[in-house]
Structure 1
Amino acid sequence: MGIAIKTADQKAAAAVAFRQRAEAVAIVAKQYAGEVDRDARFPHEALQALKEARLLGMQVAVDLGGDGAGLSDIAEVCTMLGQDCASTAMIFAMHQIKTSSLVSHGCDSKWHRGFMQAICEQQLLLASATTEGGVGGDMRSSICAIEPEGDMFRLHKEANVISYGSVADAILITARRNAEASSSDQVMAVVLKGQYNLQKKLAWDTLGMRGTCSEGFKFDSLAPREQILDKPFAEIAGQSMLATAHILWGSVWFGIASDAIARARMYIRNEARKNPGTIPNGAVRLTQAVASLQRMKADILDGLRRFETAKENDEELSSVSFAIAMNNLKVNCSTAAADIVREAMLVTGINGYRNDSPYSVSRHMRDAMSAALMVNNDRIVGNVSKLMLIGRNETSLFN
Structure 2
Amino acid sequence: MAMITDNTLRNAAPTAPVSFRRDSVPLSQRVAQVAAIAAADADSVDKQSRFPRAAIDAAKAHGLLGAQIPVEFGGEGATIHDVTEMCYALGRACASTAMIVAMHQTKVACLVRHGRGGDWHEQLMRRIAAEQMLLASSTTEGNNGGNIRASAAAIEVTDAGVSLLRNATVISYGAEADGVMTIARRASEAAASDQVLVVFTSDDYTLTPTQGWETLGMRGTCSAGFELKASGLAAQVFAEPYERIHAQTMTPVAHLSWSSAWAGIAAASVERAQGFIRKAARGAGGQMPPGAAHYTSAKMSLSKLRALISANLDAYAAHEYDERGLGSLEFQSAINLLKVEASDLAVATVMSAMRACGLSGYRNDGDFTIGRHLRDVLSAPLMINNDRILANIATANLMSAVPASLRD
TM over 0.5: yes
Higher RCO (C-alpha 8 Å, min separation 6): 2
Query: Which residues of 2 match residues 229-268 of structure 1 at below 5 A?
Result: 229-268=238-277
Query: Which residues of 2 match residues 55-66 of structure 1 at below 5 A?
Result: 55-66=64-75
Q: Partners in 2 of 1:15 and 1:313 — Cα distance?
A: 33
Runs of 4+ in structure 1 over 6 Å off: none
- Supply the AA of the counterpart residue of 2:358: G
Structure 1 residue 304, shift from structure 2 partner: 0.4
Query: Which residues of 2 match residues 22-37 of structure 1 at below 5 A?
Result: 22-37=31-46
Equivalence for 2:8? none
Tell me the SS of whatever aligns to 2:176: coil
Task: Verify the 8 A CA contact 1:15 1:73 in the aligned structure 2.
Answer: no
- Supply the AA of the counterpart residue of 1:322: F
Q: Partners in 1 of 2:401 and 2:77 — Cα distance?
A: 34
**Is it true that 1:111 corresponds to 2:111 in the alignment?**
no
Structure 1 residue 287, shift from structure 2 partner: 1.3
Normalised by the length of structure 2, the TM-score is 0.92
- Supply the AA of the counterpart residue of 1:236: I
- Supply the AA of the counterpart residue of 1:19: S
Aligned length: 386
Equivalence for 2:341? 332
**Is it true that 1:96 corresponds to 2:100 in the alignment?**
no
Q: Which residue among 197, 201, 205 is the counterpart of 1:192? A: 201
Q: Partners in 1 of 2:105 and 2:197 — Cα distance?
A: 16
Going from structure 1 to structure 2, the CA distance change for 1:338 and 1:80 (only over 3 Å counts) comes to: same
Task: Verify the 8 A CA contact 2:297 2:349 in the aligned structure 1.
Answer: no
Q: Partners in 2 of 1:149 and 1:44 — Cα distance?
A: 37
Show CA shifts across 1:230-285 (max 9, x none). Answer: 00011000011111011000000000000100000000000111122422221122
Equivalence for 2:29? 20
Question: Kindly, what percent of the aligned residue pairs are identical?
Answer: 42
Query: Which residues of 2 match residues 213-362 of structure 1 at below 5 A?
Result: 213-362=222-371
Consecutive unaligned residues in structure 2, runs of 5 or more: 1-22
Q: Partners in 1 of 2:193 and 2:248 — Cα distance?
A: 16
Task: Verify the 8 A CA contact 1:188 1:232 in the aligned structure 2.
Answer: yes
Structure 1 residue 395, shift from structure 2 partner: 5.1
Structure 1 residue 136, shift from structure 2 partner: 2.6
Tell me the SS of whatever aligns to 1:189: strand
Q: Partners in 1 of 2:356 and 2:189 — Cα distance?
A: 57
Equivalence for 1:6? none
Normalised by the length of structure 1, the TM-score is 0.94
**Is it true that 1:179 corresponds to 2:191 in the alignment?**
no
Going from structure 1 to structure 2, the CA distance change for 1:74 and 1:343 (only over 3 Å counts) comes to: same
Task: Verify the 8 A CA contact 1:57 1:123 in the aligned structure 2.
Answer: yes
Q: Partners in 2 of 1:360 and 1:279 — Cα distance?
A: 20
- Supply the AA of the counterpart residue of 1:389: L
Task: Verify the 8 A CA contact 1:158 1:218 in the aligned structure 2.
Answer: yes
Deviates more, 1:97-106 or 1:308-317: 308-317
Show CA shifts across 1:311-355 (max 9, x none). Answer: 242211101111110011100110011111111111101100111
Tell me the SS of whatever aligns to 2:140: coil
Q: Which residue among 111, 115, 129 is the counterpart of 1:120? A: 129
Q: Partners in 2 of 1:357 and 1:15 — Cα distance?
A: 39
Going from structure 1 to structure 2, the CA distance change for 1:56 and 1:394 (only over 3 Å counts) comes to: farther
Query: Which residues of 2 match residues 346-385 of structure 1 at below 5 A?
Result: 346-385=355-394
Q: Partners in 2 of 1:387 and 1:351 — Cα distance?
A: 45
Equivalence for 2:176? 167
Show CA shifts across 1:156-186 (max 9, x none). Answer: 0000000000110000011110111100000
Going from structure 1 to structure 2, the CA distance change for 1:116 and 1:395 (only over 3 Å counts) comes to: farther
Deviates more, 1:133-142 or 1:81-90: 133-142
Q: Partners in 2 of 1:120 and 1:394 — Cα distance?
A: 45
Structure 1 residue 398, shift from structure 2 partner: 6.3
Q: Partners in 2 of 1:325 and 1:361 — Cα distance?
A: 30
Equivalence for 1:87? 96
Structure 1 residue 16, shift from structure 2 partner: 8.3
Q: Partners in 1 of 2:86 and 2:330 — Cα distance?
A: 28
Equivalence for 1:67? 76
Structure 1 residue 42, shift from structure 2 partner: 0.3
Q: Partners in 2 of 1:144 and 1:106 — Cα distance?
A: 22
Task: Verify the 8 A CA contact 1:321 1:392 in the aligned structure 2.
Answer: no
- Supply the AA of the counterpart residue of 2:338: L
Show CA shifts across 1:370-392 (max 9, x none). Answer: 00011000000111211112224
Q: Partners in 1 of 2:67 and 2:119 — Cα distance?
A: 20
Give RMSD over aligned pairs: 1.5
- Supply the AA of the counterpart residue of 2:395: K
- Supply the AA of the counterpart residue of 1:356: D
Task: Verify the 8 A CA contact 2:293 2:356 in the aligned structure 1.
Answer: no
- Supply the AA of the counterpart residue of 1:283: A
Equivalence for 1:11? none
